[in-house]
Amino acid sequence: MTTHLERELREQPAALERLLERQRGGAERIAALLRRPDVDYVLIASRGSSANAARYAQYVLGRAHRVPVSFATPSLYTIYGQPPRLAGALVVGISQSGRSPDVTEVLEEARRQGRPTVAITNDVASPLAAAADEVLALEAGEEVAVAATKTYLNSLGAVALLFAVATGDKAALAELERVPSQLALQLERSWDDVRRLDLLDDLQGGTVVARGINYATAFEIALKIRELSGLLFEAYSAADLMHGPVAAISAGWPVLAVAPRGPAFAAMGTALDALSQRGARLVVVSDDDGALRRAHVSLPLWTRVPEWLSPLVAVVPGQLAALRLAQLRGIDLDAPLGLSKVTLTR
């Protein structure tokens, strides 16, 4: 029987296409806020998978008008009752459910301080949406599985759409509009590819590493593996890994490396060299034949996507790897390890 998770994974290309068709106007309204002369930076409040989408936004929106993009500290607003001054901020809340109280509180405080607010959410009737001046609906449809897949993918798509519209970059928009078909091809191929992970039948944990714009992808893949399989996987930037944590990687330790071609690829090549020298078992997600040949388990990217959009495609082998590792451990994909769909943090 097909699980909710498997069905929702397969729905991702259609969900992304729906977002791009329906939310151009919403992105244009939010782009106008981003261009306001009193906006000096973007502040994002988020949790879980949405926080990984926010990591992507740091890179992509940081390129839009070259404004800094930073993360809110929700506990200052809720637990400590000492919210910072938000002068100059455009405050964005990213929450798939829109029901995270601490993320909502950040937007409510921003409105009290007279700052523009934006909600990126799948529920336009949620408390987060009510706290926002503008809402960018994810258009993902109902998501039942505990592990977020199509809502995460569409959160990335919403950020990419906002970038393309805000910058008026028609070429970028055309590249984005091609992603749903590229995503469909990746899903079709990766479903078979991840069976190669059966070779790693003694897994106790692992590391996920990436660099640059796929920093978000590393964190999302590690999160998916942890919540679906219970295996302890940690994510690192390749640069951070080399500043000490690499000492914990010994011979035979699994490392999943996300290394699509682009500006960050050379840095990932250096990291792969160091990891190979330490005897790590490499699982490589890449569109580069040389990088794939270095892997113990190769998970190819089957379509060439511009690097700024590669997180929308590169996450797919990771999602399906997490699903496969959970299957190998006999875990219920729709009720993994006592987790619930919505986590309410204050």
Number of helical (H) and strand (E) elements in the chain, helices listed first: 15, 10
- Among 124, 150, 177, identify where a domain stops: 177
**Is 341 among the domain residues?**
no
Which contiguous run of DSSP H or E holds residue 34?
helix 24-34
92 to each of 33, 107, 185, 240, how far by Cα in Å?
A: 11, 7, 32, 27
Residues 90 and 55 in one domain: yes
Mention every residue, 6+ apart, whose C-beta is less than 8 A from residue 282.
Answer: 255, 257, 272, 275, 276, 294, 295, 296, 297
Is there a single domain that holds both residue 172 and residue 185?
no
Domain boundary among 157, 177, 197: 177
Pick out the chain residues at pLDDT < 50.
none
Q: What is the pLDDT of residue 344?
A: 54
How buried is residue 82: exposed, middle or buried, by Cβ count under 10 Å (0-12/13-18/19+)?
exposed
> In residues, how long is the chain?
346
Does 345 map to a domain? no
- The pLDDT mean for the chain works out to 95
Q: Domain range spanning residue 171?
A: 4-177
Closest CA to 165 of 340, 35, 7, 327: 35
Together in a domain, 151 and 248: no
Whether residues 242 and 317 share a domain: the answer is yes
Decide if 41 contacts 71 (C-beta within 8 A).
no
- The whole-number pLDDT of residue 39 equals 96
Give pLDDT, residue 345. Answer: 63
CB-CB contact of 317 with 9 (8 Å): no
Pair (12, 132) in one structural domain: yes
On whether the CB atoms of residues 106 and 54 are closer than 8 A, the answer is no
Q: What confidence tens digit (pLDDT) does each residue in 279-322 have? A: 999 999 999 999 999 999 999 999 999 999 999 999 999 999 99
pLDDT at 332: 87
The total domain count for the chain is 2
The confidence score (pLDDT) of residue 1 equals 61
Residue 295 included in any domain? yes
Pairing mode, strands 117-121 and 89-94: parallel
Q: Domain check: are 273 and 306 in the same one?
A: yes
